[in-house]
Chain A
Amino acid sequence: MIEEIGTTEAGELVINMGPQHPSTHGVLHLIITISGETIKKVEPHLGYIHRSIEKMCESLSYRQFIYVTSRMDYLSSHINNHGCALCVEKGMQIEVPPRAQVIRVLMDELTRLASHQLWWGAMAMDVGALTPFFHAFREREAINDIMEETCGARLTMNYMVPGGVMADLHPRFAERVKEFMRFFRSKMDEYDELVTNNVIFKSRMQGVGYLSRENAISYGCTGPTGRASGVSCDMRKIAPYEVYGRLAFNEILQTEGDCYARYLVRMAEMRQSLSIIDQLIDNIPEGDFQAKTKAVLKLPKGEFYSRVETARGEFGVYIISEGGTTPYRIKFRSPGFSNLSALDHMARGHKIGDLVAIMGTLDLVIPDIDR
């Protein structure tokens, strides 16, 4: 796991962390320069799971390319697909029916909950509390079961299509979601008692990994990472898409910018997601779940960009089309890529144990970064 790979002049040690490592949540290779126990520099080496998705998409049709994004940030697969579908709809001026809009938002928020749950379990495990991992996965199982009934899959749910969703909701969807929310709300309070207010946990997370507001904006950190430093960057509020403009929910901002602030932002976001689902679950409009579109989609010549808010931050889909059935160039702006670039800045001067805590709060999913 750890090998010394060189010594610099000043008596510093250069060590490897990863690519296989229990704490890096994916194949992230960090080259850390340490002096004693203090970190001097962290350099991420990427590319271990680079599949050149962007090049691949140049030969896929506009219906096909949406689903490779599920494999990028696999914890927010619905939201990624949603971003792609929105971009294609923007290009082709497709109007999404109200039922489909509400279904999409519901699926997005459930995905956000599932992603934050996995983050929470893994974060607690990194810091040393080994039990929350199992509790988090129990909750995730419940959400995955609900998704499985409607979408047919539990991780890479290829459910969004340009124009709406692929199939209608399972008849018991609303009932199952309401049951899950009752169960989950009580668990959230338990988690707060067990982990959030735990003295040891707080002392590991407070004051660690400070990211100032200016640096957060300069490094392009979005999502909970940015919001914990006071940057208001929730795409659902800045440029509302689907029905987000009509919903009542708060954008959670903290100012401390340390690990504990990032933690609190995500915990509060889970509660906001519950509130959004609450507002929608009883008011799903009737109607079509998919707009009528042609079988083969052709975007007109031009450029289209859509921005959505995944569990990690702002996900952007940039399509440059020359009028054909396949895109000329697609660029996916992944949130993790920019969040990772701030890791060096945040980790300098801390101990190695703190590096693990900081990475945990950044919530990195490496396939999202490497594409």
Chain B
Amino acid sequence: MISLADITAAINHWLYATLPGWAALLVEAVIVGIAAITLFAVLGLVLVFMERKVSAYMQVRLGPNRVGPGGTLQTLADTLKLAMKEGLTPDGADKFLFNLAPYVVIIAAMLILAPIAFAKGFQIWDLNIGILYVSAVSSLSVIGILMAGWASNNKYSLLGAMRSGAQIVSYELSAGISVVSIVILTGSLRISDIVASQQDGWWIFKGHIPALISFVIFIIAVTAETNRAPFDLAEAESELTAGFHTEYSGMKFALFFLAEYVNIFIVCAIAATLYLGGWMPLHIGHWAAFNHVMDYIPSSLWFWGKTFFLIFVIMWFRWTFPRLRIDQLLNLEWKYLLPISMVNLLLMALIAVEGWYL
């Protein structure tokens, strides 16, 4: 079977054969750039539609079902609508920052796409500090949010942005420590190494209880980081403000909206990579026959399946739980999640040193 790695290798080979070195690199960069943007656009469309359908079925109703076959073109119609809307800038707003903010958020999200392994051998940039790079770049989106809140010239946007910022920065810690606990087991920050180390079983099974605890904490932390319910106080409809993106309309609002859904995809992709093996099929120890059968399912299917399963779980949270107040939210992080994750890290270190994992 032709794998994606083969296709990219073939294209690479052809380009370097026909064009001078620098031109080939340039063309490859352009291809990757276009592919990333397309992926973003398509992902945004698909995830918004998925959210609407999933929420609808949980709420005993149907969701979009008229535009296109089974409602699939609904998001496209919505995007066209948003593109045609008037983009208002409030009166006293800092124009430069106001216009820059959505782009900062989107660019931060796009940069994280680089080290993610979508299939076997199919990574944009397999750098040696892959997972650290992801952690670092995801913190940059806070700047975009604070910029948006400040530049809106609206007291309540600023309040919402501050709350959002506080929330994201706090939960980064727990997420980071959970990531570190898996890195301890793997011994490497490189994403391809992390996936390869799950050759004989995913870390969530091999790492036993500390890995399970780490997984749960990670999922909670990334739900908070992406401002999703039950941690969506900053953009709650029934509270007083609509958060940092109150004053945005038209395409800029669409960019924030898109960035939120792509962030969800990214964090679920990272969770899938760290805990569920990324593109690695389900292997059980050394059961060669079973593993061989599992290998027939293409690796990209494994990756997308796992990521979409986690996305479904995060969507499920939103429609099930009520919202936490800001003080309860921060309490949860600083008094519960952080201490638990630190103790868990120690446990994990103990397991790794003693070699108690399978």
Interface residues of A (CB under 8 A from B): 1-2, 4, 15, 17, 22-23, 124-131, 133-135, 138, 194-195, 198, 200-201, 203-204, 351-354, 356
Contact = CB atoms under 8 A, between A and B. Distances in A.
A353 B239 contact: yes
B325 A204 contact: yes
A138 B60 contact: yes
Given A134-B60, A203-B328, A128 B240 contact: no
Contacts of B128: none
Contacts of B325: 204, 351, 353-354
23 contacts: A2-B240, A22-B238, A23-B238, A127-B322, A127-B323, A128-B229, A128-B230, A128-B321, A130-B55, A130-B319, A131-B319, A134-B59, A134-B60, A134-B61, A198-B322, A201-B322, A204-B322, A204-B328, A351-B327, A352-B240, A353-B326, A354-B325, A356-B238
Interface of B: 55, 58-61, 155-156, 229-230, 232-233, 236-241, 318-328
Contacts of A131: 55, 58-59, 319-320
Contacts of B155: 4
A204 B321 CA distance: 12
A-B pairs, top 8 by smallest CB distance, nearest first, are A128-B323, A134-B59, A129-B322, A128-B322, A127-B322, A131-B319, A23-B238, A201-B322
Which of B323, B324, B325, B327 lies at the interface centre, i.e. has the most chain A CB atoms within 10 A of its CB?
B325
A3 B319 CA distance: 30
A128 to B, nearest CB: 3
Nearest to A126: B238
Contact of A1 (B240, B324, B326): B240
A358 to B, nearest CB: 13
Q: Which of B229, B233, B321 has the most CB of A within 10 A?
A: B321
Nearest to A23: B238
A278 to B, nearest CB: 26
Nearest to A201: B322
A126 B324 CA distance: 12
Nearest to A194: B320
Nearest to B323: A128
A133 B229 CA distance: 16
B202 to A, nearest CB: 29
Given A129-B320, A204-B324, A17 B240 contact: yes
B320 A125 contact: no
Interface of A is mostly: helix
Contacts of A138: 60
Most chain A beta-carbon neighbours within 10 Å: one of B230, B236, B239 = B239
Contacts of B237: 22
Nearest to A4: B155
Given A131-B319, A200-B323, A356-B239, 20 more contacts: A2-B156, A22-B237, A22-B238, A23-B238, A127-B322, A127-B323, A128-B238, A128-B323, A128-B324, A129-B322, A130-B55, A130-B318, A130-B319, A134-B60, A134-B61, A204-B324, A352-B240, A353-B233, A354-B325, A356-B238
Nearest to A15: B240
Contact of B60 (A2, A124, A135, A353): A135
A131 B319 CA distance: 6
B241 A2 contact: yes
Contact of B321 (A4, A125, A129, A353): A129
A22 B60 CA distance: 22
Contacts of A22: 237-238
B322 A200 contact: yes
B176 to A, nearest CB: 24
A194 B155 CA distance: 36
Nearest to B159: A37
A26 to B, nearest CB: 14
Contacts of A15: 240
Nearest to A208: B325
Contacts of B233: 353
A124 B229 CA distance: 14
Contacts of B61: 134
B293 to A, nearest CB: 39
A198 B321 contact: yes
Contacts of B60: 134-135, 138
A301 B245 CA distance: 64
Interface centre among B229, B319, B322, B328 (most CB of A within 10 A): B322
A312 B61 CA distance: 30
A124 B319 CA distance: 11
A17 B327 CA distance: 22
A138 B321 CA distance: 19
A124 B322 contact: yes
Contacts of A23: 238
Given A134-B61, A135-B60, A138-B60, A200 B324 contact: yes
A124 B320 CA distance: 10
Nearest to A199: B321
A55 to B, nearest CB: 35
